[in-house]
Amino acid sequence: MSVPISQMWTVATYILKQKLAGRKRYPLVLMLEPLFRCNLACAGCGKIQYPAHILKRNLSPEECFRAVDECGAPVVTIPGGEPLMHPQIREIVEGLVARKKYVYLCTNALLLEEKLDQFTPSKYLTFSVHLDGQREEHDFAVCREGGYDIAVRAIRAALKRGFRVTTNTTLFDGADPNSVRAFFDEMMELGVEGMMLSPGYSYEKAPDQHHFLGRARTRRLFRAILSNRKRHWKFNLSPLFMEFLMGKRHYRCTPWGMPTYNIFGWQKPCYLLQDGYADTFEELMAETEWSRYGTESGNPKCANCMVHSGYEASAVNDTFGSLRGLLATAKATFSRYRDPEAAEMLRERVVPAHARNPFVQIEVSSGSVAEGTRV
């Protein structure tokens, strides 16, 4: 089991309370982006393409706390940008832990080892380290040679000090299922608590537009990776969301399940799209035209989306929506998904992305992101 019982209990009781109160739409995880600045410039990222004056801005701790209190979600993830570049990240994390929020600080870990002293181990704090696969795959994905080794060293140091550590991995077209499975083995050997996975979203602003996955290819890739599962792999994901990725379930997107707050306000409708901003969480929930989003809406921006931030809350809601959902989750938790066809897929030759595309390192200086793309 990859999540402590106390966290599961907090989330389960929160959801049951929402259901008993008859709330049709409720937030499960707040995505709190205190800055867009980053010390990497990944080719598949749509978050760091802002002009320098935007990249320099930070949310203050008070703004973060107000958003967290307004929203009320039991879990807060802190993506970015790179949160460890925020000058008051320690204060922000301390304030959230004091509020008994389960905090996932998402980091590329380049600064993690040197900043560990700023934090205190707690069941409420997890470092969610961005690793997009084995050494070559990760370094290629983040356009930074040596990034994998730095992150792994930081994970070891954090685990040694008693911190909770998970990984988060985004997969793009051309990912090699065998390499991803080998990566799972590496992470389990390292001792991380669990692994989070998501297909990449095709950000319009991302420098690399050629490697985003369509829905059919996403399902095929995840079926190959997650079938015939090894017993020791632990995931920090809803088991039903993983079935969704493997094409075994259909869900509608519930973007309100993981709302986003950043320097512009509450982002409509989700972490990925920017169709305006609301000043308050209440306004976001009341005034967003939710029917315009999700695959069924016909919105082309949602057509290929199967990302974690849109669909995991749908899966969790399904788990707690009925006895059938609970039983399906229990079954999925222990299933290894024996699938001879998926095993066959692992025999297909895949030329890894880093072998197909020459590696171009994108240099990033503090406060600004250099233009760059792969050739």
Those residues with Cβ within 8 angstroms of residue 104's Cβ, 6 or more apart along the chain or in another chain: 75, 76, 77, 78, 126, 128, 166
Nearer to ligand SF4, 102 or 201 (CB): 201
Selected from 41, 307, 328, 345, the binder of ligand SF4 by CB under 6 A is 307
- Judged by CB under 6 A, the stretch of 10-18, 76-84, 227-235, 294-302 that binds ligand SF4 is 294-302
For ligand SF4, which is the closer residue by CB, 3 or 273? 273
Identify which of residues 225 and 272 has a Cβ nearer to ligand SF4 in the complex.
272
Please give the size of the binding site for ligand SF4, defined by CB under 6 A. Answer: 14
Q: Is there binding between residue 270 and ligand SF4 (CB under 6 A)?
A: yes
Give yes or no for residue 124 binding ligand SF4 (CB under 6 A).
Answer: no
Query: Any idea which residue has 């079935």 for tokens?
Result: 243
For residue 336, the minimal CB distance to ligand SF4 (Å) is 29
For residue 131, give every residue at least 6 positions away whose Cβ sits within 8 Å of its Cβ, in sequence order, or none: 138, 148, 151, 167, 168, 169, 183, 187
Q: How far is the CB of 325 from ligand SF4 (least distance, A)?
A: 20
Query: Which of 27, 200, 207, 269 lies at the binding interface for ligand SF4 (CB under 6 A)?
Result: 269
CA–CA gap between residue 86 and residue 93 (Å, rounded): 11
Per CB under 6 A, does 294 bind ligand SF4?
yes
**272 counts as binding ligand SF4 under rule CB under 6 A:** yes
Q: What are the structure tokens assigned to 297, written together?
A: 């809406």
What one-letter code names the amino acid at 210?
Answer: H
Asked if residue 310 binds ligand SF4 (CB under 6 A), the reply is yes
Contacting range for ligand SF4; rule: CB under 6 A; set: 124-132, 240-248, 299-307, 336-344: 299-307
Q: By CB under 6 A, what part of segment 238-257 binds ligand SF4?
A: 253, 255
C-beta closer to ligand SF4: residue 83 or 310: 310
The residue from 150, 186, 301, 352 that contacts ligand SF4 (CB under 6 A) is: 301
Minimum gap (Å) between residue 295 Cβ and ligand SF4:
6
Binding mask 129-148 for ligand SF4 (x = CB under 6 A): --------------------
Give every CB contact of residue 72 below 8 A, 6+ residues apart in sequence. Answer: 27
State which amino acid sits at residue 5. Answer: I
In the bound state with ligand SF4, the residue whose beta carbon lies nearer, of 297 and 361, is 297
302 binds ligand SF4, rule: CB under 6 A: yes
Interface contacts to ligand SF4, rule CB under 6 A: 253, 255, 269-270, 272-273, 293-294, 301-302, 305, 307, 309-310
